[in-house]
Amino acid sequence: MAELSLNRLGKTYPGSARAALADVTATIADGEFIALLGPSGCGKTTLLRLLAGFEGPTEGEIHVGGTLIASRRNLVPPEERNMGIVFQSYALWPHMSVARNIAYPLEVRGIAKPERSTRVAAALEMTGLSDFADRAPAALSGGQRQRVALARALVADPSAVLLDEPLANLDLALRGTMQEVFTGFHARTGATMVYVTHDQTEAMAMADRVAVMSEGRIRQFAAPEVLYNEPADDFVAGFVGDGAVLPALAEGPRGPGRAQVRVLGHSLEARARCAAPDRICARPEDITLSDTGPIRAEVRACTYQGGRFRLTLAAQGGARLIAFSRARARLGETLGLSLGRPWAYAGGAAHG
């Protein structure tokens, strides 16, 4: 395994007026599990393809363990990068058994049969497939096929494992099981893993850090709890988690990590790192419903989520808030609420 380093990476396709990637700089530590998260067209799959060597950058460099593997003038081909790749479509050979599918990368490299057998047996055991070695892919479930693809990616001891939305074709229950497979595998092997997804639940559940991408750039690269509790800008605040972004007027600092702001006509204390925040991100946990709450809001939607109701509220000026309630609320009902120490930030800021 090895550290991956991206330095001012850019990619512009011929005939395109907009860069698919622009000024992407990040370091992925040896053994780290990171996720590339963002909406369709944000550049996450392009970045994965550059890491894999399927395409070359138009700007910047990629290093693996200190060795240059990609730049505008130098491009190490995919077969020489020692990267394991798991695709959304499994990409298994239908005429080969599970064991042969896993062994194929070693056969291509000319690894002797005794060593191939040892490595394949270890990969089968690691992914819970030892009892399926002689089966054809068609005789396996979707989750089992994805494990075969994972085992094939790992058998050659790659520098990193790249995963391109590997759970997108699985049903919801199986996706939850496979999340546990991936995180368990990472814990056992310490492999460096780069996981592309548009599903924030997957990214937040599995990754050590998540790179939130938009319009070809990394907007914030941080641990899941930091993205949720301390979003860097409006995009991250609105894309990650459930909550509301509201304008705020800074009234002064309250000490380290705190600021006094005015939101929806009321003064309150917020968590902050900057001196003059002009936004707050209010998560449902920041909102307390009560008859005496100073902020009034109308119930626009009420959805039962098992043990609680998710309320969509409209406050003054049409500001949208999300709150949780133990009791069902009537549509059109007006409720009182208060905000308890939401996250405040400057709209153009970026950190992480």
Distance CA 244, CA 322 (A): 7
Q: Domain 4-234: which CATH class?
A: alpha beta
Residue with tokens 């550049």: 43
Q: What is the pLDDT of residue 349?
A: 46
How large is the average pLDDT for residues 236-241?
93
Both tokens of 12, joined, read: 């512009």
Both tokens of 266, joined, read: 């009321």
Q: What is the pLDDT of residue 1?
A: 60
Instruction: With cut-offs at 50, 70 and 90, classify the pLDDT of residue 36.
Output: very high
List, in order, residues 6 or more apart from 111 with CB less than 8 Å away. 119
Closest CA to 119 of 282, 3, 71, 127: 127
**Whether residue 351 has pLDDT greater than 60:** no
List, in order, residues 6 or more apart from 17 with CB less than 8 Å away. none
Instruction: With cut-offs at 50, 70 and 90, classify the pLDDT of residue 106.
Output: confident
In this predicted model, what pLDDT tens digit does every residue of 163-207 receive, in sequence order? 988 877 777 777 777 788 778 878 877 889 999 998 898 899 999
**Whether residue 251 has pLDDT greater than 50:** yes
Distance CA 347, CA 286 (A): 20
Kindly list the domain boundaries of the chain, sorted by start residue: 4-234, 242-342
**Whether residue 18 has pLDDT greater than 80:** yes
**Backbone phi, psi, residue 277, to 5°:** -70, 150
